[in-house]
Amino acid sequence: MDSAEMLNKLPKKEVFWNAMEIQQIEGFWFAEQYVESMAAFRSEFQPRSDDILLTSFPKTGATWLMALCHNILHLEEEDILTQMNPHDVVPTVDALYLADQVQHVLLHSTTGRLLC
C-alpha cells in the first residue's frame, strides 16, 4: 500500500460546522492540510545526535521557548530576534514540508538543527 492509499484510509471527520476536515493518526486528530507533510516527515526524517526538537502542546509558550533556545544556542552572535519573529528563525517541521523547504534546511545544515 502506498502512502496516498494509507492516508485515504485514515479516520476522518468534519468539524466547525463542516468547514474543516480532520484526520486521525495514531489517536491524534490533525487538520487535513498537515497530514501529508507529517507522514512525509515520519518517513524521511533522519535524526542526528546534535538535533534539538522542541515539542509542546498548543498555547503553552512555544514561541517563547523557540526564542529562548535560539538565543542560548547563538550566544556569541548578534540577536537576530530583534529584527525577526522566532517563527522565522526556528523552523517548524510542518511549515518546512508545506513550504517545500525540507531539502534546504534538514539536509544542508552542517551544525545542530533546532526544530519545533
pLDDT value at position 103? Answer: 58
Full-model pTM: 0.62
Distances (CA, A) of 114 to 27, 74, 76, 93, 97: 27, 11, 17, 10, 16
Q: Say how far apart CA 106 and CA 104 lie, in whole Å.
A: 6
Q: How do the domains of the chain map onto residue ranges?
A: 1-36, 45-116
Q: Is 86 helix (H, G, I), strand (E, B) or coil?
A: helix
pLDDT tens, N- to C-terminus, the chain (116 residues): 556 666 677 777 777 777 788 888 878 888 877 777 777 777 777 888 888 888 887 788 888 988 888 888 888 888 888 888 888 888 777 676 666 666 566 666 667 788 88
